[in-house]
Structure 1
Amino acid sequence: MRRLLCGALLVSLGAWWVACSDASTGPPPPAPLDPNRPPTAVGAIQGQSAMVGDTVALTVSSYFADPDGDRLLYDARSSDPGVATVSAAGDTVTVVAVRRGAAAITVTASDPDGPEASQPFELTVLNSGPAAPGRIPDLELPLGQEATAEVSPSMLRRGEAAALTWADVEFWSDGSARVTVRRSKSDQDGNGATLYVGRDAATELRAIHGPDASPGAPVFGLRTGKAVSKRIGKAARAAGLVGRFSGHSPRIGMARDLVASGAGVAAVQVAGRWASPQMPSYYARAELAGDGAVARFYGEE
């Protein structure tokens, strides 16, 4: 009897061990999904420099990679919007130089699930355009200086004024003139632009042209943009104007005059050949405020 009981007990324990062993060898649990990996920075975005009013556009997709092959979304921030503003559309980051200084631009790439990577670069704005109170008035100055002041309504940049030759000037029968800018910093392909010169300025140009002017001679007798800035500053001081004036001052002053006369920002942008409306809006901000909703509300426009 004792042997029978021991045998039955052993059989029961063996059956329990087999049942437990069979349960432990069932199908394995599903493998966990691969975690979403963040994008990574590739290389480094080089520092950029620009003149006041310039627009710098960068394609940034080559500076980031996503190990999972996810489509990346891009954003950008400026450390100092007073020096440079920035926006992102697709994989293009556009920076507008506002005033002289330096700003850190941070570009961020993120995938749809949230992980992100960032790349900074520095934008250096090389010059500032002082805000002129208006267009430099007609001056009684030696030949050349007078024409330099008068031609400002055409909104020439200082380098364009220095490069202007008599071959680029066409006098019209109505007393006005046209000048051709063959290349500029906003026209690196050399497509050219034709600018209007009013009758008063055209009269001064005729006076300094003379009968023996060579087509290739510089209109203002100046070879560099720096020399143009110096002449404008000297003319402003001779006129008794207060403030600091440079080669950019006539463009700013004319932008303000145009807005004050009722021209829209888009029209001023075209006239000044700016790449975007930000700069004329910034320069003429006081005039725009004077014609804005609050001024209209008070009936003071």
Structure 2
Amino acid sequence: MGIVIGIAGITGQFAQLLTLELVKNSGVTLRAYCRNAAKVSQSMSSTPNLEIIQGGAFDREQVSKFVKGCDIVVCCYQGDDELMIDGQKVLIDACEKGKVPRYMASDWSLDYTKLEFGQLFTKDPMKHVKAYIETKSFVKGVHVLNGVFFETLFNPYFGIYDSETHTFSHWGEPGVLFEGTSYGNSAEFTSRVILNKDAVGVQRFVGDCKSMDDIAQSFEKVYGVKTNVVVKGSARELCEMMWNLRNQPSSQPNEYMAMFYQHYMVNEQTYVGPYYDNLKYPDVKAVSYEVFMRGVPLDQLPAAYQNPVVSRLQDKP
């Protein structure tokens, strides 16, 4: 039986990975929505059974045209709070009016449902959107949680992996666990949720959950390079530092956001587990940190977040 899938924000990296997964399935019809169709790559625009509709996030007429007849609308927006809250509300309203049974919010995150508003404030839009969907009588929300993306963990901005010294540094207890999933593996699990018409609500998938010592050990095994792990201090110390910095009038978000993300990872508040939905889709194999690293050359590891399509093609054992 066929399924019509709408993907809003098709030009994004994750949306493209997701599209590559979905087109593997016969009976899938894809409808894409974006501001500028010219930005869609030739390889993507020539994908069989893919229709591209151009329009802005707040163009209600075009959004209504886009969602009409869909079995599920998947939002892959990435942007400021206005887009992530109000832009998604436009999509949700259109789904409700157009009798679209499911709406997948732009989440793919640690478990923000365990946060209070204002704690990890970049996740507040996700909380607003989830609450908004729950006010609707017809369309049901779908929310995929996957921990931190592996590619992001090695991003120099987060200060966890130093590619010059091959040192892993983190806050929190020495054995604190880091839940994570590669972009590609997340796309695999997400595609199965999309194709399962009964899947609604919060869906939890994690590729691997390891301490930094274990991640470093896998690093040495894969790359043959000696590394070491440094614990910078406690989660409480990090919390005091990040809030002190944020409360300074001259501070900018890029100066403290990495601290906030790491704090809510290492204080264990936002774990996706302990119970995952991985086993609901046994055809998808969870990709571990080690398997992920096998697919990414050492010199490309810090920039893997910029090209997750490459790592996706290589993250198999």
Scaled by the length of structure 1, what TM-score is found?
0.24
Question: Which structure has the larger Rg?
Answer: 1
Work out which structure has the larger RCO, using CA pairs closer than 8 Å and 6 or more positions apart in sequence.
Answer: 2
